[in-house]
Amino acid sequence: MNIAANPMVEASQTIYLKDYQKPSFLVDAVELDIQVYADYTQVGATLKMQRQTAGDLVLLGRDLELKSIILNGTELSESDYQLDSEQLRIANAPDQVTLETIVIIHPESNTQLEGLYQASSDLFVTQNEPEGFRKITFYPDRPDVLSVFTTRVEADKKYPVLLANGNLLETGEAGEGRHYAIWQDPTKKPSYLFACVIGDLAVMKDHYVTSEGRNVALEIYAEEKDIPKCKIAMQALKHSMRWDEEHYGLPYDLDNYMIVATSAFNMGAMENKGLNIFNTSCVLADEEYTTDAAIMRVQSVIAHEYFHNWTGNRITCRDWFQLCLKEGLTVFRDQSFSEDLQSAAVQRIDDVAVLKAHQFPEDSGPLSHPPRPDHFVEINNFYTATVYEKGAEINRMMSTLLGKEKFRKGSDEYFRRHDGQAVTVEDWVNALSAGSGVDLSNFLTWYNQPGTPKLEVQGEYDAAAQVYRLNLKQSLKSNAKYPNLKALPIPVALALFNAETGEQYILQSEALVENSVKDGVYLFDQAQASIEFSGITAHPVVSLLRNFSAPVNLEFNYSNDELAFLMQHETNGFNQWQATQTLLERILLEEHAADTYLQAMKNTVPALIEKDPLLASRIFDVPSEGYLGSRIDQNYQPEKIQQQRNALLDTLARELGAFCKETYLSLDPDMQQDFSQAMGVRALKNIMLALMARQGDAKAFELAQQQYHTTRNMSERLGVLRVLVWNDAPQAKAALEDFYTRFKDEALALDQWFMVQASHPKATAETIQALTAHPDYDLGTPNRIRSVSGGLNSNPVNTWSFGVQHFIDLAKYLDEKNPIVGSRLLQVLSRWYTLAEPQRNQVQAALLNLQSVVKSKNVVETLNSMLEV
Ligand code: BES
Ligand code: ZN
Percent of the chain past pLDDT 70, that is, above it, reads 98
331 lines ligand 1 (CB under 6 A): yes
- Quick one: which H or E segment has residue 717? helix 714-726
What pLDDT is attached to residue 515?
64
CATH class of the domain defined by 318-448: mainly alpha
Report the pLDDT averaged over residues 266-290: 98
Report the pLDDT averaged over residues 357-378: 97
Question: Looking at 129, 287, 305, 389, which residue is catalytic?
Answer: 305
What pLDDT is attached to residue 518?
59
What pLDDT is attached to residue 11?
43
Say which ligand is closest to the CA of 389. Answer: 1
Angle at 47 between CA 41 and CA 50, to 5 degrees: 160
DSSP string, 624-655: -HHHHHHT--SSB-HHHHHHHHHHHHHHHHHH
Digit-coded pLDDT (tens) for 488-543: 999 999 999 999 999 999 998 888 987 655 569 999 999 999 999 999 999 999 99
607 neighbors 595 (Cβ within 8 angstroms): no
Domain boundaries, the chain: 21-200, 201-317, 318-448, 454-550, 599-867
Ligand 1 atom closest to 308 (CA): 11
271 lines ligand 1 (CB under 6 A): yes
Report the pLDDT averaged over residues 575-600: 97
193 lines ligand 1 (CB under 6 A): no
Ligand 1 atom closest to 279 (CA): 21
Fill in the amino acid letter for 288.
E
304 lines ligand 1 (CB under 6 A): yes
Residue bearing the CA closest to ligand 1, atom 17: 301
- DSSP secondary structure code for residue 129 in this structure: T
Residue 830 three-state SS: coil
Residue bearing the CA closest to ligand 1, atom 2: 270
267 lines ligand 1 (CB under 6 A): yes
Q: Which residues surround ligand 2, an ion (CB under 5 A)?
A: 327, 330
CA of 710 to the centre of ligand 2 (A): 39
Lowest-confidence range among 185-199, 254-268, 475-489? 475-489
| Res. 252 pLDDT band, cuts 50 70 90 | very high
Report the pLDDT averaged over residues 710-728: 98
| Res. 3 pLDDT band, cuts 50 70 90 | very low
Say which ligand is closest to the CA of 300. Answer: 1
- Rounded to a whole number of angstroms, the CA Rg of the chain reads 28
Digit-coded pLDDT (tens) for 169-226: 999 999 999 999 999 999 999 999 999 999 999 999 999 999 999 999 999 999 999 9
CA of 270 to the centre of ligand 1 (A): 6
Residue bearing the CA closest to ligand 1, atom 5: 267
Mutational test site, ligand 1, from 193, 279, 304, 386, max ligand atoms within 8 Å of CB: 304
Assess whether the region 21-200 and the region 454-550 belong to the same CATH fold.
yes
538 neighbors 499 (Cβ within 8 angstroms): yes
pLDDT at 857 over 70: yes
291 neighbors 298 (Cβ within 8 angstroms): no
Q: Estimate to the nearest angstrom the gap between the alpha carbon of 323 and the chain centroid.
A: 13
Average model confidence (pLDDT) across the chain? 96
| Res. 7 pLDDT band, cuts 50 70 90 | very low
Q: Is 470 exposed, middle or buried (0-12, 13-18, 19+ CB in 10 A)?
A: buried
Could you tell me the fold of the domain covering 599-867? Zincin-like fold (1.25.50)
| Res. 752 pLDDT band, cuts 50 70 90 | very high
CA of 819 to the centre of ligand 2 (A): 20
270 lines ligand 1 (CB under 6 A): yes
What pLDDT is attached to residue 10?
40
- Kindly give, in sequence order, each residue whose CB lies less than 8 Å from that of residue 831, ignoring residues fewer than 6 positions away: 361, 365, 629, 630, 636
Residue 525 three-state SS: coil
Compute the Cα dihedral for 620, 625, 630, 633 and give only its sign.
Answer: positive
Mutational test site, ligand 1, from 189, 383, 388, max ligand atoms within 8 Å of CB: 383
| Res. 649 pLDDT band, cuts 50 70 90 | very high
**257 DSSP β-pair partners:** 218
378 lines ligand 1 (CB under 6 A): no
CA of 129 to the centre of ligand 2 (A): 10
SS (H, E, C) 365-428: CCCCCCCCCCEECCHHHHCCHHHHHHHHHHHHHHHHHHHHHHHHHHHHHHHHHHCCCEECHHHH
Domain with residues 454-550, CATH architecture? Sandwich (2.60)
Mutational test site, ligand 1, from 113, 266, 267, max ligand atoms within 8 Å of CB: 267
351 lines ligand 1 (CB under 6 A): no
Compute the Cα dihedral for 579, 581, 585, 591 and give only its sign.
Answer: positive
Digit-coded pLDDT (tens) for 667-695: 999 998 899 999 999 999 999 999 999 99
CA of 868 to the centre of ligand 2 (A): 29
DSSP string, 24-75: SEEEEEEEEEEEE-SS-EEEEEEEEEEE-SSS-EEEE-SSEEEEEEEETTEE
150 neighbors 184 (Cβ within 8 angstroms): yes
Say which ligand is closest to the CA of 195. Answer: 1
Compute the Cα dihedral for 352, 353, 359, 360 and give only its sign.
Answer: positive
Say which ligand is closest to the CA of 271. Answer: 1
CA of 821 to the centre of ligand 2 (A): 17
Residue bearing the CA closest to ligand 1, atom 15: 268
Ligand 1 atom closest to 305 (CA): 11
CA of 308 to the centre of ligand 2 (A): 7
Ligand 1 atom closest to 334 (CA): 18
In whole angstroms, give the CA distance from residue 850 to residue 47: 43
Report the pLDDT averaged over residues 162-171: 98
What pLDDT is attached to residue 12?
56
CA of 712 to the centre of ligand 2 (A): 33
Active site (annotated) includes residue 662: no
| Res. 1 pLDDT band, cuts 50 70 90 | very low
Between strands 275-279 and 256-262, the pairing is: parallel
Fill in the amino acid letter for 648.
L
Ligand 1 atom closest to 268 (CA): 21
Q: Estimate to the nearest angstrom the gap between the alpha carbon of 838 and the chain centroid.
A: 34
CA of 143 to the centre of ligand 2 (A): 15
DSSP string, 448-497: H--SPPEEEEEEEEETTTTEEEEEEEEE---BTTB--PPP--EEEEEEEE
- What pTM did the predictor assign? 0.98
CATH class of the domain defined by 201-317: alpha beta
Say which ligand is closest to the CA of 329. Answer: 2
What pLDDT is attached to residue 402?
95
What pLDDT is attached to residue 46?
99
In our burial notation (b when 16+ CB lie closer than 10 A, e otherwise), range 408-445 reads bbbbbbbbebbeeebbbbebbbbbbbbbbebebeebbb
- Quick one: which H or E segment has residue 553? strand 553-556
CATH of 21-200, one of 2.60.40.1120, 2.60.40.1730, 2.60.40.10, 2.60.120.620: 2.60.40.1730
389 lines ligand 1 (CB under 6 A): no
pLDDT at 8 over 60: no
449 neighbors 485 (Cβ within 8 angstroms): yes
Ligand 1 atom closest to 383 (CA): 7
Report the pLDDT averaged over residues 427-441: 98
470 neighbors 514 (Cβ within 8 angstroms): no
Residue bearing the CA closest to ligand 1, atom 20: 268
